[in-house]
A and B are shown apart, each in its own frame.
Chain A
Amino acid sequence: MQPGKDGAVDAGVIGLIVIVAIIAIGVFWAIGVYNGLVGLRVQSQNAWSQIDVQLKRRYDLIPNLVETVKGYAAHERETLERVIQARNMAVSAHGVAEQAQAENMLSGALKSLFAVTEAYPDLKANENFLGLQEELTATENRIGFARQHYNDVVAQYNSTQQQFPSNLIASKFGFAAAEFFELDEAEQAAARTAPAVRF
């Protein structure tokens, strides 16, 4: 038995164990961050498709609304026709940009329609109309909240993707930043003007 040598071997073994443990912890951490990024990316994709779900719910309600309003406010033909036109364009739009444009036009047309109906007390008292108005208001809100939720998820994903040290894993495995849902300049200008109402 040689006392000196035994001591050196022990220290070596301990050192090896420590190094292995550190590497293992590092690997587990990296796996955790990677999975977290994947989860957030999938969530943002899901949130994006939820917006479409809410957009499509709108299309079925609009013909009903137009018929009810026609009965009481035949003079407002212009406004009504704009709504129907915008709805048909939105249904048949292809591609993200075209669809986004059509959707914004439809929102604008609906805003004008609701503003106009303020002048017709009989219409406002009609239960059918009130029910439809609530449903359409809710649909517009749902679209808005779906977009808000999408942006919230994207904010979370982008933060994780860019903050240290998770950004190391993100860039190594090709996680790109996601885009926020934004209106382009023309749409912003249109969205911020109040609908024109003439009685």
Chain B
Amino acid sequence: MSASQKTFHDLIAENKRNSVVLVAAFCLFTVIVMLVLGLAIIGFADPGALSHINFVEAGIIVLIAVGIALASALFGYYAGDKVILGVSQAHQIRHDDDPELFNVVEEMAIAAGTPTPRVYVIDDTAPNAFATGRDPEHASIAITTGLRGKLTREELQGVIAHEMSHVRNYDIRLMLLMAVLVGTIAMLSDFLWQAMRWSSFGGSRRRDRDREGGGLGPLVIVIMVLAVILAIVAPVLAQIIQLAVSRQREYLADASAVELTRYPQGLASALRKIDADSDVLEVANRGTAHLYIANPIKKFEKRAGSVFASHPPIEDRVARLESLLV
């Protein structure tokens, strides 16, 4: 037995560890950014307050930004599945509309020990599928007619298992958390630019220095410079981390799918079929891309090795699946 042969248990444990590290790093990064930008915003908005570092006011600004980001993300969380199903023109099906599809979904629900999710079909020739739902009790699975027609029963089962695993692993919640963090950073950067534009920083500083002899001068300048750099760099960096987490969760969903089906060839074969298809999914866009099983924005597919891809390259996913011992 070579050292590189793994079971899906190994892959799942590995992926979960990587997720924890990434998310922890992201939270730490966000806290630092929030602190620096918050202070800097106060600095630009109210230079008189620079004589002492005012954490309370900085904290209030940060909370406002978090609040806005949280509100919009929560809306997406609770209404999101209805919105996306509506936008995709998905219609719910019952058992008799498509017994094979319905049975496949029910079988996976039994293997997972969760209630059977609602099943939706999207009228589109592009092959793709997605899952949504904050937990397994409120889950929905959608699949395009394009994908439905192309797959055998085992391949279909692999795809459904992958999608249901996203819900089982609470990826929807994780992506919500990421969205809130990224949104907060973006908003704080924006606040900073606004504060800089409207500040009378230059004039006041002279007044302050005359009054207090410039006590905190160097530290304040360091914070300001750091804040400006972060305001430029942080939003992009945050997105990169978010996409790294997204890719990690895709690998995890693949391994979890094998945990359900105990048949990695099914999903591997389905992924190859999806990769070979050049059809573009009309209703998807950048914001919803991470929900789908394969990157629906075809332009990015070829550059899939880049840090801006929400999904790992399909060849890598297939290779991992095919190397698994079950």
Instruction: Mark A residues whose CB is within 8 Å of B.
Output: 43, 47, 50, 54, 131, 134-135, 137-138, 141-142, 145-146, 148-149, 152-153
Say which residue of A50, A134, A146, A153 sits within 8 Å of B103 (CB atoms).
Answer: A134
State in angstroms the CA–CA spacing of A145 and B114 once bound together: 12
Interface residues of B in 80-103 (CB under 8 A from A): 99-100, 103
Q: Interface readout for B37-65 with A: 1 if CB under 8 Å, 0 if not? A: 00000000000000000000000000000
State in angstroms the CA–CA spacing of A134 and B262 once bound together: 20
Say which residue of A54, A131, A142, A148 sits within 8 Å of B262 (CB atoms).
Answer: A148
- Say whether, besides A131-B99, A148-B262, A138 and B107 are in contact (CB < 8 Å): yes
Contacts of A153 in B (CB 8 A): 113
Interface of B is mostly: helix
Contact A47 B107 (CB under 8 A): no
Interface of A is mostly: helix
State in angstroms the CA–CA spacing of A152 and B106 once bound together: 18
Contact A134 B110 (CB under 8 A): no
Contact B110 A135 (CB under 8 A): no
Say which residue of A43, A137, A146 sits within 8 Å of B110 (CB atoms).
Answer: A146
State in angstroms the CA–CA spacing of A142 and B99 once bound together: 14
Is B112 at the interface (CB under 8 A from chain A)?
yes
Is B111 at the interface (CB under 8 A from chain A)?
yes
Contact B99 A149 (CB under 8 A): no
Contacts of A50 in B (CB 8 A): 110
Contact A142 B107 (CB under 8 A): yes
Contacts of B262 in A (CB 8 A): 148
Contact B111 A149 (CB under 8 A): yes
Interface residues of B in 192-234 (CB under 8 A from A): none
State in angstroms the CA–CA spacing of A138 and B110 once bound together: 12
State in angstroms the CA–CA spacing of A138 and B156 once bound together: 13
Contact B99 A134 (CB under 8 A): yes
State in angstroms the CA–CA spacing of A29 and B113 once bound together: 27
Nearest opposing residue in chain B for A139, CB measure: B103
Contact B111 A135 (CB under 8 A): no
- Say whether, besides A145-B107, A148-B262, A43 and B100 are in contact (CB < 8 Å): no
Contact B103 A54 (CB under 8 A): no
Contacts of B106 in A (CB 8 A): 138, 142
Contact B111 A148 (CB under 8 A): yes
Contact B110 A145 (CB under 8 A): yes
- Can you list 8 A-B contacts with CB-CB less than 8 angstroms, sorted by A residue number? A47-B113, A131-B99, A135-B103, A137-B103, A138-B99, A141-B103, A142-B103, A152-B259
Nearest opposing residue in chain A for B109, CB measure: A145
